[in-house]
Amino acid sequence: MIEVKGLTRYYGDFPAVRDVSFTIGENVIVGFLGLNGAGKSTVLKVLGGILMPSAGLVKIAGVDALEAPDSTRKTIGYLPEEPPLYREMKVAEFLRWCGQIRGMAAADVEKRLPEVMKICQLTHVADRVILELSHGYKKRVGIAQAIIHNPKLVILDEPISGLDPVQIVEMREVLKTLKTTCTVLVSSHILSEISQTCDRILVLHEGRIVAEGSESDLKRRLRGKLAVEYVVRGDKADVQKTIAAVEGVSSCEVKTDDDMVSAHVVFDQDAREAAAAALVAAGFGLRAMYERTSSELEEVFIGLTREGEADHKEAA
């Protein structure tokens, strides 16, 4: 369904996305995971035909999106983080217009409209002015405008941001329904959302894909890496310097907690005792040691972005 090779996008001199490549099949939900500024929205905008890439190849359903942007846009539905809505229009009127500008005949829009209203649970607000709707309903109208023309690819940028817990559950159901008819790309920095709805996750960091696979694939990738948190009395910079000098330490993140220093250390090999010994030998008061497993997706994500960053520095 989607083939991306060497996608690069600059904003001025700033490379927002660098040499990104991936392929995505049909009828799957794929999540783009990353911190703010990681390049998720830029990748989605390029796939949606909103931005042109600075370099690289983008094919949607076998068609080069650069050579035939108008025809590829007909097959794509796009919803940015803030739903683009003409607030003075009524819901049904707005959706009819959206269908028509995407090349649907008026009669086809009329046939499709009840189905879309049902999927997005908008039937009872069809004649309401968009301005009067709550944030959750506006988001649903945003999704409805993205799917009204029966697209093969639906791109949803942060679809659950700003929704309450009930609305999040409802949105998950909508995404699952969409998956039966098209490929869905979702971006989010809410990791639990990605893990619950997506078949595959692409992790972006500083414009690059640092990891990809299912949730279990990503966890497996970090399994075997030891992580220990040392609580130490001493100077923050000195603690970091001492731990970083120990052989087998992959990364060390230090933060100050009251008058204590907390060092989150990830090991390439088991050097837990050596690190503790180094801290004691350097004269720091070692108050506690906690083993930190990378079982939670948040941990996996942090580990992957650090790993990706380290790989990139090494390559550079």
Partner 1 sequence: MNGLWLVTRRELSAYFNSIWGYIVAAVILVIDGLLFNAFALTDRPRLSFEVLRDFYYFSFGTTTIAAILLTMKLVAEEKQTNTIVLLDSSPLSDWQIIGGKFLSALMFLTGLILATAYMPALIMVNGKVSLGHVMSGYLGLILVGAAVTAIGTFASTLSRSQLVAAVIGSVITVFLLISWLLAKVANPPLDGVLSYMSLFDRHFRTTFMEGRIDTRDVIYFLSLTFGFLMLATRFFASRRWK
Q: Is 52 an interacting residue with respect to partner 1 (CB under 8 A)?
A: yes
Interactions with partner 1, residue window 12-51 (CB under 8 A): 48-51
Contact assessment for residue 285 and residue 234, using Cβ atoms and an 8 Å cutoff: yes
Judged by CB, which is closer to partner 1: 132, or 273? 132
d(CA 39, CA 42): 5
Distances (CA, A) of 35 to 58, 60, 232, 263: 24, 26, 29, 22
Interactions with partner 1, residue window 98-117 (CB under 8 A): 98, 100-103
Total H helices, total E strands in the chain: 11, 14
Rg of the Cα atoms in the chain = 24
CB of 155 to partner 1, least distance (A): 9
Interactions with partner 1, residue window 207-246 (CB under 8 A): none
Closest among 281, 274, 212 to 246, alpha carbons compared: 274
Q: In which element (H, E) is residue 204 found?
A: strand 200-205
Site string (121-160) toward partner 1, x via CB under 8 A:
------------------------x---------------
Closest among 159, 162, 158, 156 to 134, alpha carbons compared: 162
Judged by CB, which is closer to partner 1: 78, or 137? 78
CB of 10 to partner 1, least distance (A): 10
Among the listed residues 97, 189, 213, 312, the single contact to partner 1 using CB under 8 A: 97
CB of 101 to partner 1, least distance (A): 5
Judged by CB, which is closer to partner 1: 27, or 100? 100
State how beta strands 226-233 and 260-267 pair: antiparallel
Judged by CB, which is closer to partner 1: 102, or 272? 102
| Contact partners, residue 104, CB within 8 Å, separation at least 6 | 112, 148, 149
Site for partner 1 (CB under 8 A): how many residues? 27
Judged by CB, which is closer to partner 1: 1, or 85? 85
Judged by CB, which is closer to partner 1: 151, or 234? 151
CB of 152 to partner 1, least distance (A): 14
Interactions with partner 1, residue window 56-95 (CB under 8 A): 70-71, 73-74, 76-78, 80, 82, 84-86, 88-89
Contact assessment for residue 39 and residue 16, using Cβ atoms and an 8 Å cutoff: yes
Place of tokens 């960091």: 205
Please give the single-letter amino acid code of residue 131: L
CB of 80 to partner 1, least distance (A): 5
Place of tokens 């990364």: 251
d(CA 193, CA 29): 12
CB of 165 to partner 1, least distance (A): 26
CB of 98 to partner 1, least distance (A): 7
d(CA 230, CA 246): 14
List residues near partner 1 by CB under 8 A. 11, 48-52, 70-71, 73-74, 76-78, 80, 82, 84-86, 88-89, 97-98, 100-103, 145
